[in-house]
Structure 1
Amino acid sequence: MAMRNCAMIGMAATILAAAFPATLIATPARADMIGHGAMVNGVAVSPDGRHLLSASWDYTVRLWDLMRQSEIRVLDGHTASVNAVVFLPDGKSAFSASWDHSIVRWDLAGGKEIARLKGHVNNVASIALSRDGRWLASASWDRSVKLWNVAASRLERSLEGHEANVMQVAFAMDDRQIVSVGYDRSVRLWDVASGKELAVLNGHETSVNAVAVAPDGKSALTGSTDGAIKRWDLAARRETGSLPGHAGFVTSLAISRDGRYALSGGGDRLMRLWDLREGRQLKQFAGHEKPVWSVAFTPDGKYAVSGGYDTVIKLWSLATGAPVAPRS
């Protein structure tokens, strides 16, 4: 069941290398963001680093004051599990994706629904926004990736080719391409302008649950049910290595704004910090009682957020490996 759940949910300046010694940390959290009544499927930090959005199996999206670790409001409108959230570049609105087949745009100041995007006919497992905020990509269990015009709240095209559930998407190559991963064990590249499939990258032996693209858009990480994290050169369309360490499925990935570091969450209840330049693990963060389902960096690169199957959200210092106490 854990494996099936992992695949189901699908699953930003500079950080100094010296700030992350190689010592592995396993410290229980002192303070948590608690409010969700079920697993936390997705987390996103606002562009200014002040706020956090979380998506949960309890059908809600929640907005938090990140450093105070306090809930601001509950965004209630989905009729099934909410799987993913993303802020728009101005930080004033956001999108959420749900098992109810819909994507909702929210006004965060008022907590109101602005628009509802419909077109998928199954669980919407993941969403990603282009850097300029013009385009939204979505991944669904209906085996499609869809591209949406944000300003018009309109479906532009559907990208067909996956042979099973699509789990996550990300923009790449200066937003000219989309990367998608899924149950069919493939990593696929798509042309945004035409919707044409450009390449199928094979290498994973089991379902691929997570993808993160580096800020330069030219490289990516993918994570699988078998615990593998693979590195890809998207321009050359080839695998370039792996990051071994997770015992069990990988649920989520994130890359820091400077492209130097990565976070991964897994079924082993750990969040791990990686040095991508050196290809090694720097720290592991223990404190969740169940699998870590979602991870994110803050834009300044000083902190990380993890959301768990245990319904808890945690804020961590990347310099010390310790949980961060709420600010008053």
Structure 2
Amino acid sequence: MNMQRLAAVTALILGLAGHAVPVRAEMLGHGAMVNAVAVSADGRRLLSASWDYTVRLWDLAKQSELKVFDGHTASVNAVAFLPDGKSALSASWDHTVIRWDLNSGKETARLTGHVNNIAGMALSRDGRKLATASWDRTIKLWNLSTNAVEHTFEGHQANVMQVAFALEDTQLVSVGYDQTVRLWSVASGKELFSLTGHRASVNAVAVTPDGKTALTGSTDGQIKRWDLLEQREIGSLPGHAAFITSIAISKDGRFALSGGGDRLMRLWDLKDGRQLKQFAGHEKPVWSVAFTPDGKRAVSGGYDMVIKVWSLETGAQIPAPKS
């Protein structure tokens, strides 16, 4: 190796100081931050949504891109598989939700009604209803058979950031910039109660499979646990050193994942609130997290435009198989 080449290699290594040099264990393709990730029910495919206005479908085992869905005209902030595994939904800052045929890549329906950015969405367990959270300060409940709005939930005093179904899909939990956690009746569209405790905007919410406990994450760096039946805070998950962007709960309800501005994804034991692992590898904030259905892997999407797959047992990134 000549001296010029040695100097170049040395400069590259020094330029990476402070960051772990990653193995090839990431999915590249998006041209901007990855806002959301969702894993299919069989664990074989992944959907991602990005600030680059696209939705992408991936083979999770191969970590390879299968399809790109173009149609939104602004950042795509949420994505979900429908239970049939043949269709998907995406929600965007263009104020719309698009339904996609995963085989053809074509748009099959578009839901309109919000008058500002849609920041988050949640599907009912049977896939018949969709809840969307918007910067127009409302949540809308949609009937996916008719694509019609069944209820518009009003009460938040600022942007609504995320929503989740709770208590056997009879209620909704929403969070927003007004620092509140609100519970709503799906049947009546009425607010049931509001919870306070965060000291800054609340960006993320996830509900345990039994529907009785919610986790919320805030710009204040706190993850709080709420008993939805008793309507009170029951604990917190301390550890992140910056804002919380996303939370996911495992299918069995035993564990949670969180992502934040500290560039880390963290794994929590929900029985006692202990942090079990932290996953370092993103060069910028972790913006989205998800479990695989078998609970053995996790997926994270970042502001650094990459998607990473992790082993929950070892805490290591899972490299893509050699082609």
Same fold, TM-score > 0.5, yes or no: yes
Write the letter of the residue equivalent to 2:29. G
> What is the CA distance between 1:155 and its match in structure 2?
1.1
CA change 1:27–1:194 in 2 (3 A) is farther
In the alignment, structure 1 residue 229 sits paired with structure 2 residue 231: no
Partner AA of 2:94 in structure 1 = D
Matched residues in 2 for 1:260 and 1:238: separation? Answer: 20
Indicate yes or no: 2:298 matched with 1:292.
Answer: no
Aligned mate of 1:30, from 13, 20, 24: 24
Amino acid at match of 1:56: S
Distance 1:156 1:76 in 2: 28
Which letter maps to 1:325?
Answer: P
Which SS does the other structure have where 1:204 is aligned? coil
1:87 maps to which residue?
81
Aligned counterpart, 2:189: 195
Matches of 2:21 and 2:37, distance apart in 1: 21
1:168 paired residue among 151, 162, 166: 162
Number of residue pairs the alignment of both structures matches: 303
| 2:127 is equivalent to residue 133 of structure 1 | yes
Percent identical: 76
In structure 1, distance between residues paired with 2:220 and 2:278: 19
Runs of 4+ in 1 over 2 A off after TM superposition: 26-30
Give distance in 1, aligned partners of 2:41 and 2:168.
19
- 1:261 pairs, out of 231, 255, 264, with 255
Corresponding letter in the other structure for 1:165? N
* Residue 275 (structure 1) aligns with: 269
CA distance in structure 2 between the partners assigned to 1:177 and 1:270 by the alignment: 31
Equivalent residue letter for 1:43: V
- The aligned counterpart of 2:139 is 145
1:308 and 2:293 correspond:
no
**Cα deviation, residue 27, structure 1:** 8.3
Counterpart CA distance in 2 for 1:162 and 1:80 is 24
Q: 1:55, 1:62 within 8 Å by CA — same for their partners in 2?
A: yes
Equivalences for 1:237-248 in 2 at 5 Å? 237-248=231-242
Which position in structure 2 is the counterpart of 1:121? 115
Report the Cα distance in structure 1 between the residues aligned to 2:25 and 2:312, rounded to whole angstroms.
Answer: 16
Q: Which amino acid aligns with 1:257?
A: K
* TM-score scaled by length of structure 1: 0.91
Candidates 51, 58, 61, aligned match of 1:64:
58
Asked if the contact 1:273–1:281 (Cα under 8 Å) also holds between the matched residues in 2, the reply is yes
CA distance in 1, matches of 2:81, 2:163: 15
Tell me, in whole angstroms, the C-alpha distance in 2 between the residues paired with 1:31 and 1:299.
Answer: 20
Tell me the residue number matched to 2:17: none
CA distance in 2 between counterparts of 1:303 and 1:109 reads 25
Choose the corresponding residue for 1:155, options 149, 153, 160: 149
CA distance in 1, matches of 2:264, 2:49: 19
Paired with 1:54 and 1:220, the residues of 2 have a C-alpha distance of: 24
User: 1:258: Cα distance to partner?
Assistant: 0.5
Instruction: Return the letter of the residue paired with 2:276.
Output: L
Question: Which AA in structure 1 matches 2:232?
Answer: R
CA distance in 2, matches of 1:149, 1:114: 15
AA aligned to 1:286 is A
Q: Provide, for residues 69-95 of structure 1, a one-character-per-residue CA deviation record: whole Å limited to 9, x for no partner.
A: 000000000000000101111211111
Contact 1:129 / 1:136 at 8 angstroms: preserved in 2? yes
Q: Name the CA distance, whole Å, in 1 between partners of 2:190 and 2:209.
A: 23
Q: CA deviation at 1:204?
A: 0.6
Query: CA–CA distance in 2 between the matches of 1:27 and 1:201?
Result: 43
**Aligned pair 1:217/2:219, yes or no?**
no
CA RMSD of aligned residues (A): 1.0
Q: Which has the higher contact order (CA 8 A, sep 6+)?
A: 1
- Contact kept? 2:24, 2:320, Cα under 8 Å: no
Larger radius of gyration: 2
Q: Give per-residue Cα distances to partners, 1:89-136, cap 9 Å, x unaligned.
A: 121111100000000011111111010000000000001000011100
How far did residue 29 of structure 1 move?
4.5
